[in-house]
């Protein structure tokens, strides 16, 4: 449910407010296979965990979560005594409940004999965000010529997210002493996740020709931290209970003797409270790369034909870009790119329009900024699309 209200006073003051209500219910069952370990056994000084099927436990979680949240927003815009300048600010809150896949997903992420396993997290919390933006707009007509128009916008935005959900690799499971690199689960970031930056926009139109420029610059970086044992249940070896010499039969049928000892298996509160940072899998590892575009166009045939060229540019994500290796799967892979698009729109009559767009006209091979570094899929090559529009 959502509602918005806007109030304008005499053209110089604009107030806006909104209220959104979200509610969700997440219901289902999920689980994992664990082995109860009350005593750890050592043979020839080597720990041997008894994985007797009789001690295997199917740990199930019956999830039935329901919650709701109000998310308010508020904005104000003021013209400080001149018509061509507007100052504005906007604040708001947001809320995202955990998804079904994040809570329930379990098993192998793909086929084959790879050791990777995805485990569920029935205790995943909802994300809570607070964002604000401040900036100014400039709009001026007849600046250099009659009927020309200049528009400019500069804004700073800051979005802070609590309990940001991310997939972590190398998690540690209950009833274990250490983690496995190939074990993965969705967890909440213990640190606030922050996305902030500056946006620039400018456009100039003299009727026959026009140009638009936009650029977004991101600021800062994020840390991704979570409990080492995201569900608790860490174990450690305790004091030795007994030692003895055991007689056993070797694979060749001969009789052998080996020293055996048995020790306690205790709860490990130190590891339960330990926090690890890093280990994130996905494209939120680094800030989105800076990106911008420049459009230059012209109008012909009594302005019925509008044609132009657009440049899309990104300087890439510079972190680890020049010294990239595959030792760490979370490293960024977004080199800089420059891509050109062509477009044309023609109104044959007042009611009929035909539009053609050629994206990536030079057939450049590139990665989209903020694309998934683990996927490494190239963006689209040269693409021609068309549209017919008829108004009646």
Are residue 94 and residue 206 in the same domain, yes or no? yes
End of a domain among 281, 305, 328?
Answer: 281
d(CA 105, CA 185): 9
The pLDDT value recorded for residue 373 is: 53
Q: Are residues 304 and 170 in the same domain?
A: no
Distances (CA, A) of 147 to 83, 107, 139, 205, 307: 16, 64, 13, 9, 20
Structural domain contains residue 13: no
The per-residue DSSP string of 314-334 comes to E----TTTTT--SSSTT----
pLDDT of 284: 73
357 lies in the same domain as 238: no
Under a CB-based contact definition with an 8 Å cutoff, are residues 153 and 123 in contact? no
* Whether residues 84 and 151 fall in one domain: yes
Residues 6+ apart with CB under 8 A from 305: 299, 344, 345, 346, 347
Identify which of 299, 304, 302, 295 has the alpha carbon closest to the alpha carbon of residue 353.
Answer: 304
Helix (H, G, I), strand (E, B) or coil at 147: coil
H-helix segments, the chain: 100-104, 269-273
The answer to whether 343 and 354 have CB atoms below 8 angstroms apart is no
Structurally, the chain folds into a number of domains equal to 2
Strands in 182-254 per DSSP E: 183-188, 193-205, 209-219, 225-227, 235-249
CA dihedral 51, 52, 57, 58 (to 10 degrees): 80
Q: Are residues 68 and 167 in the same domain?
A: yes
Is residue 359 assigned to a domain? yes
- Residue 6 inside a domain? The answer is no
Rounded to whole angstroms, the Cα distance separating 20 from 27 reads 23
Answer whether residue 12 is part of any domain. Answer: no
* pLDDT for the residue 212: 98
Greatest CA separation found in the chain?
Answer: 105
Of the candidates 57, 105, 40, the one whose C-alpha atom is nearest the C-alpha of residue 240 is 40
Q: Domain range holding 317?
A: 283-392
Residue 97 and residue 168 in one domain: yes
Beta bridge partners of 337: 314
Q: Are residues 180 and 45 in the same domain?
A: yes
Q: Are residues 261 and 305 in the same domain?
A: no
Residue 356 in domain: yes
Q: Is residue 364 part of a domain?
A: yes
**Boundary of a domain, candidates 281, 298, 317:** 281
- CA 147, 148, 149, 150 dihedral sign is negative
Return the pLDDT at 218: 93
**67 found inside a domain:** yes
Q: Are 252 and 193 in contact (CB under 8 A)?
A: no
Verify that 250 and 288 share a domain, yes or no. no
What pTM, to 2 d.p., does this model score? Answer: 0.81
Here the CATH number for the domain that contains residue 216 is 2.40.170.20
In a domain, 230, yes or no: yes
C-alpha span between 348 and 23 (Å, rounded): 49
The backbone region for 54, taken as left when phi is positive above 0, alpha when psi lies in -120 to 50, beta otherwise, is alpha
Residues 230 and 294 in one domain: no
User: What's residue 36's pLDDT?
Assistant: 65
Domain boundary among 281, 305, 333: 281
Residues 111 and 233 in one domain: yes
User: Looking at the structure, do residues 273 and 124 belong to the same domain, yes or no?
Assistant: yes
Mean pLDDT by 10 residues, the chain (392 residues): 96 96 94 73 67 68 94 97 95 96 87 82 96 97 91 97 92 84 91 95 96 96 92 85 84 86 85 89 77 97 96 79 53 76 96 97 82 65 97 94
Using DSSP bridges, classify how beta strands 183-188 and 117-118 pair: parallel, antiparallel or unpaired.
parallel
Torsion of Cα atoms, 169 then 173 then 177 then 178, to 10°: -10
């Amino acid at each position: 449910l959502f509602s918005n209200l806007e109030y304008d006073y005499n053209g110089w003051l604009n107030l806006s407010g909104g209220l959104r209500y979200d509610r969700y219910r997440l219901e289902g069952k999920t689980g994992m296979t664990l082995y109860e370990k009350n005593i750890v056994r050592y043979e020839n000084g080597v720990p041997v965990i008894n994985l007797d099927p009789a001690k295997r436990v199917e740990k199930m979680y019956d999830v039935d979560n329901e919650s709701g949240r109000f998310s308010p927003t508020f904005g104000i815009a003021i013209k400080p005594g001149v018509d061509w300048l507007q100052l504005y600010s906007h604040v708001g809150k947001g809320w995202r409940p955990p998804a079904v896949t994040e809570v329930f997903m379990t098993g192998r992420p793909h086929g084959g004999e790879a050791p990777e396993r995805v485990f569920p997290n029935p205790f995943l919390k909802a994300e809570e965000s607070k964002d604000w933006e401040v900036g100014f707009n400039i709009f001026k007509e007849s600046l250099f010529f009659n009927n020309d128009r200049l528009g400019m916008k500069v804004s700073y935005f800051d979005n802070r997210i609590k309990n940001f959900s991310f997939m972590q690799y190398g998690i540690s499971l209950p009833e274990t002493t250490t983690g496995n690199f190939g074990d993965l689960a969705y967890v909440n970031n213990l640190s606030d996740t922050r996305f902030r930056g500056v946006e620039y926009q400018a456009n100039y139109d003299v009727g026959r020709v026009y140009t638009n420029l936009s650029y977004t610059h991101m600021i800062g970086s994020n840390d991704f931290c979570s409990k080492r044992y995201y569900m608790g249940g860490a174990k450690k070896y305790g004091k030795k209970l007994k030692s003895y010499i055991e007689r056993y039969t070797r694979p060749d049928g001969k009789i052998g003797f080996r020293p055996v000892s048995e020790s306690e298996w205790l709860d490990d509160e130190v590891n339960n409270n330990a926090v690890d940072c890093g280990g994130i899998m996905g494209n939120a590892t680094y800030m989105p790369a800076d990106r911008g575009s420049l459009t230059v166009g012209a109008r012909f045939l009594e302005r019925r034909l509008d044609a132009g060229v657009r440049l899309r540019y990104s300087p890439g994500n510079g972190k680890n870009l020049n010294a990239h290796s595959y030792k760490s799967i979370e490293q960024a892979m977004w080199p800089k790119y420059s891509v050109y698009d062509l477009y044309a729109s023609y109104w044959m009559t007042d009611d009929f329009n035909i539009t053609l767009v050629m994206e990536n006209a030079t057939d450049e091979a590139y990665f989209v900024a903020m694309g998934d570094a683990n996927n490494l899929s190239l963006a689209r090559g040269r693409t021609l699309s068309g549209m017919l529009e008829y108004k009646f």
